């Protein structure tokens, strides 16, 4: 039986083949070899559409720095085993972001470019990230949000809640036994159950036949999964483009956008971050610091900062201190926070002189963010090689004269074509015009 390929294009047709990028990944390639009857589904998301799924991609790839751009999702399902691999393709760079293989329990396998394949346990622990509580797998990759903290997060606990007694009771969760505190919040895993969990205890193997399959469905990893009556996770019921809530996919028109009236992290102006019926304002704290509200990942986030020298917090913004000394405005300018700012003669930072798109150094905006000679483009992710350089592959010549690619397609910026063979990164395989004998 051949492979079934189903392509779903949300934003129109494409003549390129994102599946080729997915199939080049070793985890995807091994899955296709093991399950030749697998069905392949390809979905294209425009940059605008990807805003609604950034948290999904971030959770699956374990990368908190995912940004809005064109993506392809390549999903490979094996109908016989119920296993699947999901590959996310960064279409702007035309490279794979990650590939994730999901097992029948909490196990998952992650493959990223330039990194070894890792076997990870989902929902291994939770800890604070961006003032909220997030799940992390056993490999340290951030997964989906566990709990939104209205007053910030510290020591893996939402702040501002009533005091809760840890490990007050244990109950079943996800087919295993977990501790719960006295407020009903999920804690750490108490016992892993091979045959599911029932009434706060692991189910014995001989009772496994008494479990009703597809007893209920609920959210897991932002999608809908079947669970049997013993609490064991089964096959995926539904793939959710916009996340999952209370056992159902969130519809696109239910996803509300987060907006910030002062444009983001603007410490010099009081703003309001709004999403749906929630609206939080920037405010000053008793110790003189500023709590800035802003949008990130379509969620309202909070950051507490100290105002720069010469400024103080007043009514939700850092304002310049009025003193008796006569300070000359716009006296000089220097680099601050990657941009060019004016400073008065007293050294206090004023308004921005120039927004530096590529960073700031020695009192001037940098002109570009290119990758220099000999640098790997995966490590130094400039938009392109610096002027005069070209991108060549990382292929090496082996002792028996064959070509191999130890870095799996990573490009290196080089002076290939200048009639000089730089043996550090050029060779007969990747730059024959310079290195031919």
Confidence of residue 394 (pLDDT cuts 50, 70, 90): confident
Mean pLDDT (whole number) for 405-420: 78
pLDDT single digits (tens) 152-163: 888 888 877 655
Neighbours of 220 (CB within 10 A): 21
Domain holding 144, by residue range, is 125-254
- pLDDT value of residue 49: 84
Q: Are residues 39 and 106 in the same domain?
A: yes
Domain endpoint, select from 338, 365, 392: 365
User: Which of the four pLDDT bands, split at 50, 70 and 90, describes residue 143?
Assistant: confident
- pLDDT 10s digits, 178-190: 878 767 777 777 7
pLDDT at position 406, please? 67
**Which pLDDT score is estimated for 206?**
46
Same-domain check for residues 297 and 376: no
Indicate whether 297 and 310 sit together in one domain.
yes
- Per-residue pLDDT for 14 more than 50? no
Question: How confident is the model at residue 7, as a pLDDT?
Answer: 41
Q: State whether 215 and 291 are in the same domain.
A: no
Q: Of 311, 336, 365, which marks where a domain is finished?
A: 365
First to last CA, the chain: 48
Q: Which 8-state DSSP code applies to residue 347? A: S
Residue 241 has pLDDT above 50, yes or no: yes
In Å, the largest CA–CA distance within the chain is 85
Q: In what order do the strands lie in the sheet with 223-227?
A: 216-220, 223-227, 233-238
In the chain, the percentage of residues whose pLDDT exceeds 90 is 6
Cα–Cα dist 262/293, whole Å: 10
Instruction: Indicate the SS3 state at residue 80.
Output: coil
pLDDT of residue 105: 63
For the purposes of burial, counting CB atoms within 10 Å of the CB of 8, is it exposed (0-12), middle (13-18) or buried (19 or more)? Answer: exposed
- Selected residue with higher pLDDT from 432 and 256: 432
Question: 328 with 344, same domain?
Answer: yes
Half-sphere exposure at residue 200, Cβ-oriented, CA atoms within 13 angstroms = 6
Same domain membership, residue 59 and residue 81: yes
Give CA–CA dist 130/128, Å, rounded. Answer: 7
pLDDT of residue 324: 53
The contacts of residue 209 (CB under 8 Å, 6+ apart) are none
In this structure, the answer to whether residues 57 and 100 fall within a common structural domain is yes
Query: What pLDDT does 158 receive?
Result: 82
Is 129 found in the same domain as 116?
no
pLDDT bucket at 98, cuts 50 / 70 / 90: very high
327 touches 335 (CB < 8 A): no
Which band of pLDDT confidence, cut at 50, 70 and 90, is reported for residue 50? confident
Number of domains in the chain: 4
Classify the phi-psi angles of 419: left when phi > 0, otherwise alpha if psi is within -120 to 50, otherwise beta: left
The chain-wide mean pLDDT, for the chain, equals 79
Q: Tell me, yes or no, whether 142 and 242 share the same domain.
A: yes
Could you give the CA distance from residue 245 to residue 218 in angstroms, rounded to a whole number?
8
Residues 243 and 273 in one domain: no
Across 302-307, average pLDDT: 89
Q: How far is CA 215 from CA 84, 141, 196, 233, 282, in A?
A: 21, 30, 13, 10, 46
Of the three residues 73, 101, 120, the one that is the final residue of a domain is 120
d(CA 172, CA 189): 10
Do 18 and 113 sit in the same domain of this protein?
yes
* Pair 244, 287 in one domain: no
Q: Is residue 22 scored above 70 in pLDDT?
A: yes
What pLDDT does 54 receive? Answer: 82
Tokens of 350: 């004023």
Strand partners, 20: none
pLDDT-wise least confident of 132-136, 174-178, 252-256, 257-261: 252-256
């Amino acid at each position: 039986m051949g492979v079934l390929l189903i392509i779903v294009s949300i934003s129109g047709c494409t003549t390129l083949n994102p599946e080729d990028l997915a199939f080049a990944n070793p985890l995807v390639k091994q899955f296709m070899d093991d399950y030749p009857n697998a069905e392949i589904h390809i979905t294209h998301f425009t940059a605008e559409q990807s805003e609604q799924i950034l948290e999904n991609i971030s959770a699956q790839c374990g990368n908190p720095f995912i940004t809005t751009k064109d993506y392809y999702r390549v999903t490979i399902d094996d109908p016989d085993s119920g296993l699947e691999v999901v590959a996310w393709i960064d279409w702007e760079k035309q490279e794979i972001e990650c590939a994730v293989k999901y097992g029948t329990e909490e196990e998952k396998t992650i493959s990223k470019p330039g990194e070894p394949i890792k076997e990870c346990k989902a929902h291994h622990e939770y800890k604070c990230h961006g003032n909220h509580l997030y799940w992390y797998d056993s490999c340290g990759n951030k997964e989906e949000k566990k709990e939104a903290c209205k007053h910030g997060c510290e020591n893996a606990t939402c702040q501002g809640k009533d005091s809760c007694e840890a490990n007050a009771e244990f109950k079943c969760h996800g087919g295993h036994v977990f501790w719960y505190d006295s407020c009903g919040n999920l804690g750490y895993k108490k016992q892993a159950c091979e045959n599911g969990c029932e009434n706060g205890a692991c189910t014995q193997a001989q009772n496994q036949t008494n479990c009703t399959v597809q007893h209920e469905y609920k959210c897991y990893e932002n999608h809908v999964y079947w669970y049997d009556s013993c609490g064991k996770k089964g096959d995926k019921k539904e793939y959710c483009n916009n996340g999952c809530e209370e056992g159902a996919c969130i519809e696109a028109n239910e996803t509300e956008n987060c907006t910030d009236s002062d444009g983001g992290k603007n410490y010099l102006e009081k703003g309001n971050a709004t999403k749906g019926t929630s609206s939080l304002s920037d405010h000053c704290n008793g110790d003189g610091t500023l709590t800035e509200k802003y949008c990130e990942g379509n969620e309202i986030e909070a950051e507490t900062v100290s105002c720069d020298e010469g400024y103080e917090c007043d009514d939700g913004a850092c304002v310049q201190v009025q003193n008796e000394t006569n300070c000359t405005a716009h006296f000089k300018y220097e680099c601050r926070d990657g941009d060019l700012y004016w400073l008065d003669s007293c050294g206090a930072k004023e308004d921005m002189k120039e927004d530096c798109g590529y960073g700031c150094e020695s009192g001037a905006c940098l002109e570009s963010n290119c990758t220099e000679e000999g640098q790997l483009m995966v490590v130094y992710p400039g938009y392109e090689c610096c002027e005069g350089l070209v991108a060549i592959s990382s292929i090496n010549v082996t002792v028996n004269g064959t070509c191999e690619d130890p870095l799996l397609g990573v490009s290196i910026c080089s002076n290939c074509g200048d009639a000089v063979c730089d043996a550090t990164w050029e060779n007969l395989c990747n730059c024959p015009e310079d290195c031919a004998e």
